[in-house]
Each structure stands twice: as C-alpha cells, then as structure tokens.
Amino acid sequence: MRIARAWTAAGGKSTRGALGRREAAGRISTAAATQPEPAVDFPGAPVDVSIPPVQHNGPRSRKEYIKEAKPFSNFLTDTFNRQHDYLRISVTERCNLRCVYCMPEEGVPLSSPSHLLTSPEIHYLSSLFVSQGVTKIRLTGGEPTVRRDIVSLMRSIGSLRSKGLKQLALTTNGISLHRKLDDMVEAGLTGVNLSLDTLDPFQFQIMTRRKGFDAVMKSIERILEMNKLGADIKLKINCVVMRGLNEREILPFVEMGREKDVEVRFIEYMPFDGNKWSKGKMLSYQEMLDIIRTKHPGLQMIRGHKNDTSKTYRVPGFVGKVGFITSMTHNFCGTCNRLRITSDGNLKVCLFGNAEVSLRDLLRKNNDGEPIDEEAFEAMKQIEMDRHQGLLGDETVLGWGERERELLDVIGMAVKRKKEKHAGMGELENMKNRPMILIGG
C-alpha cells in the first residue's frame, strides 16, 4: 500500500497528530495539492472574524497567545455561551445496512437527488462554518462511504486545514471502509467512529438485517495496521446497547481493548421515528457499568475534555478505553458544541430537537433554486473575483457576499434559539423527529 510505504520511508514515525501535520504521510493528492489558490477566499472577507497572526521570532508567553486569539463567531455562539466549533454533515441518506435502532425494516423514503446537497454546496458550507471558527467536521450519513465521490469530497474539505480546520472525521458502518481507507487518509481523514453492535456474525445479521461482519472487522484491522505504521487515525467503536438483544456483548467488547488501541463506546438506546423505541429496551449507563465491574472491579474513570459526549474509563493494564454516551439518563447538553447539517441541507442545532432551517434553499436562491454543480460553482467564484477586482458592482447575481451574510444571519438565529437542554426521556419518546438515518449519525 502506498501509505504504508510512505510511513515506512518516514521511519514509521507519525508526523500528523492533527489535520495540519501531514507532511510525511496522509497528503492530499498531488493534483489537489498543486491546484492554484483562487484570488479570493470563499466565503469572503466581510464576515471573517479572524485576526492576522503576529510574526514571532522566539517562544510566546501565555499572555501573547491570549492577545492573538481570534474572537469566536457570534453566529455560532448561543444564548448560553456555548461555542459551536464542531459540525456534522450528512452526505447521503443511503445505507447498505438496515440497523434495527436506526431505521424501519422497510427502509425510508429517499429524497429526490435534486433535494440533496451537491459536493460544491457541501464544500461551500464547510468553508463558511470554518471561517466562523469550526475546527472539526465529521461526515455522516446514511453511510458516507456509499457516496460515489466521497474521497474527492473529503479532499476538498481537507483543503480547509489552511483556514483553521483541525480534524476531519467519519462515522461509518465499516462495510466498505477498508477499500477506501488509504485514499481517505491521504485526503485528510483523522478519525473514524465505526458503528458495530455485536461481535457475533449471526447476531450481526439479526441487528443489521444484512451480511457484512467480516468486512467490518477487516476495516477495523486495517485502521489498527495503519496506525502501527504511523497513521494516527483515532478509532472509536460505537455500540448501541439494547436490553434483551446485545447486552451480553458488553464484556466481549471491553475485552477488545486488552491489546488493541481502540475506544469502545456504549450508547444508550435512543428514540427516533421508526425504530420501535421503548423504555424497557434501554439499558442505562449505570447498569452497563455494573456489568463491567463484575469482571473488572478496578475500572477507572478518565478525565476527559469538557466537550466530550462520552464518559471515558480504563481497565488497568488494558491498552484501549471504554466510553459511555448517556443521552437518555445523564445528558451532556451544558457543554454541547455540535451542529448538524442534514443531507438535504437543513441545519439542526440539536439531535433531539425537531426544529430545522433550510440552508440549501438560501444557498440556491440566486441559482433559480437549482442545485449548484461544479460549473455553477466556478461561475460564482469568477463573478466574485471580478467584483473583488472592482470590475462588477455589488448587485451582480450569484455573488457570494450577500448570500454569505444571509446564510450567517439564518445560522445565527437558529443557534440563538437552541435550548439549554433537550427534552427528557418521557417527552422524547412521544416527540416527532426524523429517523436517525435521515438526520445523520
């Protein structure tokens, strides 16, 4: 594999801990890397809150770092002073599995292709959010690896690291990941959340209503293999625990971390349209802890980052870690820094909120409501470059400035309406919300 060769040539040492450190390995393709920079940054300067960095010759003091720190965007700060620097973008509604907690057995009605965001639109929105302080983008679905241009899309988003993006992550079921992983790492991938709810191939088929267990395990092993060569891909395995179905899997999943550098995160079963949720199926975080402590009484909690969604633990002597996502019994709303864009272009400020606002319609307003393809995207950039050089007036159709201001106003209003916390368990089970597959994991 070319990545393996690159890391071996680099002495097997990782130089990429984050998106900006990829000189020895994981580069974007040569063609993309040599692409000339446009004369104008998009989104444009009028709403850029960044402060030009000051050049230093020697080490800087903490006071200097604070003085130079750019103010965080007001558009992405809610009324509870939560700063949203993490954006999750669903890139497809399609999936090659039918997990019981995610969608109805018969599937879900899919949107018309013209209603879904195009790659140029996803790149533009990513650029807009990064200009306002987003440092982490996660691509979700559906299953993002089934999107035909997923690697080139990741490459275009990965190019935003020069604008402040630090992490580009993927949530996947792992079925096709092993075939595209090398190219994805070269495109800028820094983290993978892989959904796997059982280590039993037969149970896998029951829970996903499809075959594919061996392919998923192959993807996990490929990530671990690449990490040994210096890839530094942060791997987390997400396991939704359902009483009476897979709670017996908890201890085998914990055992995965004995010798493998992986974090297994157990997720409390959550209600979404079509997943036949019931309170009786939900196994609480505390019950899961009790199960693990029957075999590993020394389980220790690890102090995490303030924006972590999971409570993280370690079994003494184990390489890996164990986490718990406790959305139902112990929410983490107070430190929420996440926003979501659905594949049809709606902004959701809360996973469990049913309020959505369309960014797609506003983005296409001056394109006669039609999807913005590569040709339209290039035309828009050329018009804006002409305006920047004083060749056109501000009233020009398809310009970026006014569109950007309108989008940020809409985003800012939605963020300001975000509630302090989502509804409780009793309300959530009766609240109308999209199926998880149409929100984006």
Tell me the CATH number at 313. Answer: 3.20.20.70
Strand-pairing partners, residue 325, are 267, 310
Residue 207 tokens, joined: 């829970």
Which carries the bigger pLDDT value, residue 141 or residue 5? Answer: 141
Residue 89: other Cβ atoms inside 10 A? 24
Please give the tally of structural domains in the chain. Answer: 2
* 327 and 385 inside one domain: no
Range of the domain at 221: 79-338
Say if 239 falls within a structural domain.
yes
Residue 377 and residue 333 share a domain: no
- What pLDDT digit, counting tens, does each position of 185-240 carry? 999 999 999 999 999 999 999 999 899 999 999 999 999 999 999 999 999 999 99
3-state secondary structure of 220: helix
Based on the fold, state whether residues 278 and 374 are members of the same structural domain: no
Q: What are the phi and psi torsion angles at 169 (to 5°)?
A: -120, 170
Does one domain contain both 313 and 374?
A: no
Contact 169/233 with Cβ under 8 angstroms?
A: no
DSSP 112: P
Residue 15 included in any domain = no
Q: Per the domain annotation, does 226 fall within a domain?
A: yes
Q: How confident is the model at residue 332 (pLDDT cuts 50, 70, 90)?
A: low
* CA angle (90, 91, 93) in 5-degree steps: 80
pLDDT at 71 over 90: no
Work out the pLDDT band at 438, boundaries 50, 70, 90: low
Residues 189 and 331 in one domain: yes
Q: What is the pLDDT of residue 30?
A: 37
Confidence of residue 382 (pLDDT cuts 50, 70, 90): confident
Largest separation between any pair of C-alpha atoms in the chain: 73
User: Are 333 and 411 found together in one domain?
Assistant: no
User: Is 203 found in the same domain as 128?
Assistant: yes
Task: Using pLDDT thresholds of 50, 70 and 90, give the confidence band for residue 32.
Answer: very low
Is 63 a domain residue?
no
Share of the chain above pLDDT 70, in %: 74
Has residue 363 got a pLDDT over 60? yes
Are residue 144 and residue 204 in the same domain, yes or no? Answer: yes
| Element containing residue 405 per DSSP (H, E) | helix 400-416
Considering the domain architecture, whether residues 205 and 250 belong to the same structural domain is answered as yes
Supply the pLDDT for residue 307.
Answer: 78
Same domain, 235 and 90: yes
Q: What tokens appear for 275 in the block?
A: 């997943």
420 Cα distance to chain centroid: 22
* Residue 398 confidence class, pLDDT cut points 50, 70, 90: very low
pLDDT surpasses 80 at 40: no
Examine the pLDDT at 154 and tell me if it is beyond 50. yes
| Residue 16: pLDDT over 60 | no
| Least-confidence region, from 65-74, 158-167, 323-332, 404-413 | 65-74
pTM of the model: 0.80
The region, left, alpha or beta by phi > 0 then psi within -120 to 50, assigned to residue 336 is beta
pLDDT band at 347 (very low <50, low <70, confident <90, very high): very high
Answer yes or no: do 413 and 312 share one domain.
no
**Burial readout 398-435 (b: 16 or more C-beta within 10 A, e: otherwise):** bbbbbbbeebbebbbebbeebeeebbeeeebeeeebbb
Confidence grade of residue 373 (pLDDT, cut at 50, 70, 90): very high
The CA distance from 210 to 201, in Å, is 10
Indicate whether 282 and 390 sit together in one domain. Answer: no
Name the β-bridge partners of 421.
Answer: none
User: Which of 114-123, 264-273, 397-406, 420-429 has the weakest average pLDDT?
Assistant: 420-429
The amino acid occupying position 8 is: T
